[in-house]
Structure formats: C-alpha cells, structure tokens
Amino acid sequence: MRTEVAVIGAGPAGLLLSHLLAEQGVESVVIETRTQEYVLSRIRAGILEHSTVDLLDSVGLGERLRREGQEHRGIHLQTPGERHHLDFVDLCGRSVWVYGQTEVTRDLVDAREAAGQQFFYGVTETALHDIETDSPYVTFVDADGTEQRVDAAVIAGCDGSFGPSRAAIPDSVRRTWERVYPYSWLGILADVAPSTDELIYAWHPDGFAMHSMRSDTVSRLYLQVPNGTDVADWSDDRVWAALSTRLGAGIDDWTLRSGPITEKSVLPMRSYVQTPMRHGRLFLAGDAAHIVPPTGAKGLNLAVADVALLAPALISLLRKNDDTLADAYSDSALRRVWRCTHFSWWMTTMLHRSGDPFDAQLQLSQLRWVASSTAGATGLAENYAGLPIGL
C-alpha cells in the first residue's frame, strides 16, 4: 500500500495531523496498536488552551466543544487557609476550556471516519524502515494477522512515549533529557457534581491535591502519592478523606462533595525531551518526542501545537517541494516544548511536597508571591492559558 504520510498512532497528535493534512488534500494512513474502543475510552487530559480551541474551531472541530465544554476564566491556587483565584482573562486576555481528551478524540475519530480516513487499528510489530531515504516505509501485522507494508513520502511518529518512532532516530543523532519526580498522582473520576466553579490546585503538608472536572455531573480529582503506590491500598473512603483534608484545609464554608468513583489509577510523573524532532523523512510529534508532568495541563496542548507546525511543513514539502518549514520544524517546535517543559516542572516543584522542610518554605513563599503579585500571577496565566502557536 502507498500513501503520502504514514501516521503511526491514533492519539490526539496522529488524528489531528491526518485531519489537517486532509484539509489540504494530503493523503495519510493511520496505524494504531490499540483497538478503536480502547482509544476512545482512555481517560487523560482535561484542559484545552485557548490556541488549541482556536485551532480545533478553525478546522470544523469546535462545534461540540463550544456546546458541551466549559470555558474557565482561570484557576484557584491554594495553600492552607488561603484560596486565591487567578483570573487569566484579566491577567493575559485568554481563557481555557474544560473538555476531556476523550471528547477531543471522539470528535477527531468521527470527523476522520466521515471523511473516509484509512485506519489500521489493533496492529502489532510496528516497525519503521529507510527513514534516511526518500522512500521510507512502515511494516506491521494487522488485526487479522496479515503482514502489511505502507510506503510513504514521510512518516509521522505520533506513537506516544512507548511507541517505536523515537527509537528509530539513530543513537548517534538523538539526545534526550529526563527528570523523574519522586511522587505520582492518584487520579479518580467520580459521578458527582464538582464542588468548585474552576480548578483548584492545592499545596498541603500531606501532599498536593487538585480538583478538576469533566462536566456538571462528573468530577476529576488527583492526590500526590509516593511512587510505587498500589491503588488497592486506597479505598474510596480513604481517597475522599484525603481529598477532603487537603482541599478543605482552613477554607471556611466549603465542603467537598463525594460520590461513586468510576475510575482510579496511579500516574507516575516525569519530564522527557528527545531531540531532534525530525530525522530524514521521520517527524516526531506529541508524546513521542516529549513528556511533561500533568501539573501544568500541557501534554495534550503541546501535542496539538506540534501538529499545528508539522501539518503546514509537510503540506509545503509534499505539494510545493519546499522543505523550508520541514527543515525548521524541529527547532520551531522545541522552543515551545522547552517553555512548556519548564512551566510544567515549575508548577510541579512548586506544588508537590518533596519531604524537605527548606523546599516547603520556598514553595509557600513562591505561592504567596504568585497569588499576590500581578507580575507573578501574569507569568502563570500566560503559560497556563498558552502562548500563541508558533511561539
């Protein structure tokens, strides 16, 4: 089989890339190791930056988002006894949207299916070949057990942190940076109305806690837990008690509503960047090239920002034989990647207990400054609500 772009991975990066390419008449094949049901049911990110929403809108994917998503002006930043609202719209003129990654994926899959996109789901043994030539190809075994080969002009590695694309860049060329944090998040999804209008990020002596949401009836909450935590040790009652302690500490007239927990999992936290994001005819986008801890809500938005640069670069390369944007892709994308990597690290290290009392005093001082100074608050707002695409 031959196509123009072989897209490995049907996460947000791969799906959106195939959509943007198709808008300009560039053909692609999407190759995914999971089943479509699995892809559509994964619970992950929840916050969309302003520029992500604008981009989805501009390619006809904003309709349900505008109807069912919730626009938030900012977040609450909390230390025991003090809950400060940071109003991003006042501070930097941009809002964010609560709309789950699950919903973004659903909208993308529906749009791609309606347009007749070719997908292979449930594949195994994905392998990349000849990426340093003008005729790269991908091989895999399809869901029926048949060996397949897709020849393409370009391969887009959108296969997340466990896919084969990042390792296809030779060791002699690639460089990696990594930070593993000494804590994880225990996340729950619960059938209960949120107890807050906008997200709460809370510092607490027992560890960080966050209150997010998916809708008027579904809440998403997180607790800092030690690495290696077994969810089996966290009964529903224990989770609600810890959330209530950390999120309610010293806050008068506020109680956390609890309800049936429908999902509970532990998420390790790390920062990771691999460069370059392009080698020969292989281009990496999203988690395939970089991972951020979720504290800044950047992972999904960064995947979208990569693709917003990559799609025009590939269109120009394939339609006009102009490689200027393709040559610039890695450096351009990495500017934003490092900004978001720094912001995510900063939010993470400011809000999580490290166990060191000196760190705790610095964190509290920093949080007081961010909450009380317009300069401090604006820095957080600009980064959280998202810098314009291309910056």
Question: Which residues form the catalytic set?
Answer: 72, 201, 294, 298, 384
CB of 18 to ligand RFL, least distance (A): 11
What would the DSSP string read from start to end of 43-64?
Answer: ----EE-HHHHHHHHHTT--HH
The reply to whether 163 sits near ligand RFL by the rule CB under 6 A is yes
**Which member of 13, 26, 91, 210 binds ligand RFL (CB under 6 A)?**
13
**Burial class (CB within 10 angstroms; exposed 0-12, middle 13-18, buried 19+) of 377:** buried
Site string for ligand RFL, 122-141 (x = CB under 6 A): -x--x---------------
The reply to whether 220 sits near ligand PHB by the rule CB under 6 A is yes
Q: Which does 158 bind (CB under 5 to 8 A by kind): ligand RFL, ligand PHB, none?
A: ligand RFL
Residue with CB nearest ligand PHB? 46
Task: List, in sequence order, every residue forming a beta bridge with 155; answer none if it has no partner.
Answer: 6, 282
CB of 213 to ligand PHB, least distance (A): 7
CB of 49 to ligand PHB, least distance (A): 11
The rounded distance, in Å, linking the Cα atoms of 27 and 21 is: 7
Q: Which does 295 bind (CB under 5 to 8 A by kind): ligand PHB, ligand RFL, none?
A: ligand PHB
The rounded distance, in Å, linking the Cα atoms of 211 and 207 is: 14
Please compute, for residue 367, the number of CA atoms within 13 A of its CA located in the half-sphere on the CB side.
Answer: 27
**Which member of 74, 248, 299, 386 binds ligand RFL (CB under 6 A)?**
299
**Burial class (CB within 10 angstroms; exposed 0-12, middle 13-18, buried 19+) of 157:** buried
CB of 144 to ligand PHB, least distance (A): 36
Q: Which does 32 bind (CB under 5 to 8 A by kind): ligand RFL, ligand PHB, none?
A: ligand RFL
The rounded distance, in Å, linking the Cα atoms of 225 and 45 is: 19
Are the C-beta atoms of 52 and 347 separated by less than 8 Å? no
Site string for ligand PHB, 18-57 (x = CB under 6 A): ---------------------------xxx----------
**Which member of 86, 111, 284, 297 binds ligand PHB (CB under 6 A)?**
297
Site string for ligand PHB, 188-217 (x = CB under 6 A): -----------x------------x-----
Joined tokens for residue 128:
């990349």
Q: Which does 8 bind (CB under 5 to 8 A by kind): ligand RFL, ligand PHB, none?
A: ligand RFL
CB of 361 to ligand RFL, least distance (A): 28
